[in-house]
Amino acid sequence: MPGADAVARLYPVALALTLAAWLGFLPSAADHFRRRLASARPRTGCWLAAILLAALALRLTAGFSHRVYYDEFEHLDIARHLAATGQFAETLAGGIVAYDVLSRPTWPGGHHTALAVIFKLFGASALTAFLWSAFLSTLSALFVFWAALELFDDERGALAAAFIWGVLPLAVRYGTACDLTSATLFWNAASLAALHARKREPGPRLDAFAALTLAYAVQVRPENMLLLGYGALISAPARVLIPALAGA
């Protein structure tokens, strides 16, 4: 169907543009993060770097393995097909060149679009997907630290949160798989950090960064739409929020 084919091609383009815009605003968000880190206790940055290196080392040495078999193979197939053809589709039946039976995936395409870019750069192997998962899982600890720092204004508590996430056995276990877990938690943590950063320092750049983070998070997993409600909740003025909660 021509319409379905157009959607299969335009949808990942829209996601790629959203991701590119997010990366474009990332330096502004990083500047805010550096200012927050500079005002923290001495050596906070060193401790954070040590936690991130330890988290990455744990994931790289734990041994990669498929944990959610069918889902992982489905994600790999979608991302590989997207990298090779530019079309958001998955293989129902294949093996004969040019005669694969394709279907539109039921998953949103945020994870697959990013993974397809990684496949383009480093090759479409399972090892590439495993390493990407480990990288995202490690970076999640950074955003956990950032979100906790913005929310509680306590460097030690933020370091403790990042450390717990970095070494948590379940986080390490799924950081060595290639399902949606690492990508989902990365975008969840990034959304929380972005929302609280723009609340602390309102401005068009951090506002745009938070909006793009939420927009992409929703396209990684549909349950992430809950983040939109959370964003609306913390962004509401106290004079509106308190009476509303009291009435509820």
pLDDT string in tens for the chain (248-residue length): 445 677 788 999 999 999 999 999 999 999 999 999 999 999 999 999 999 999 999 999 999 998 887 889 999 999 999 999 999 988 875 545 555 667 889 899 999 999 999 999 999 999 999 999 999 999 999 999 999 999 999 999 999 999 999 999 999 999 999 999 999 999 999 999 999 999 999 999 999 999 999 999 999 999 999 999 999 988 876 555 455 444 44
Measured from the Cβ of residue 15, the count of other Cβ atoms closer than 10 Å reads: 24
Distances (CA, A) of 196 to 84, 152, 199: 38, 10, 5
Q: Which two tokens stand for residue 235?
A: 């962004």
Note the pLDDT of residue 91.
Answer: 82
Q: Which residues pair with 90 in a beta bridge?
A: 103
Q: Which two tokens stand for residue 27?
A: 């330096």
Note the pLDDT of residue 115.
Answer: 97
Q: Which two tokens stand for residue 42?
A: 């001495």
Q: Are the beta carbons of 90 and 102 closer than 8 angstroms?
A: yes
The Cα 29–Cα 112 span in angstroms is 24
Note the pLDDT of residue 183.
Answer: 97
Q: Are the beta carbons of 33 and 209 closer than 8 angstroms?
A: no
Note the pLDDT of residue 67.
Answer: 86
Radius of gyration over alpha carbons of the chain, in Å?
19
The residue written with tokens 């983040």 in the block is 227
What are the backbone dihedrals phi and psi of residue 91, each rounded to the nearest 5 degrees, phi first? -90, 120
Q: Are the beta carbons of 135 and 186 closer than 8 angstroms?
A: no
Note the pLDDT of residue 68.
Answer: 82
How buried is 65 (Cβ within 10 angstroms: 0-12 exposed, 13-18 middle, 19+ buried)? exposed
Q: What is the pLDDT of residues 129-182, one digit of tens each?
A: 999 999 999 999 999 999 999 999 999 999 999 999 999 999 999 999 999 999
Where do the domains of the chain lie? 2-235
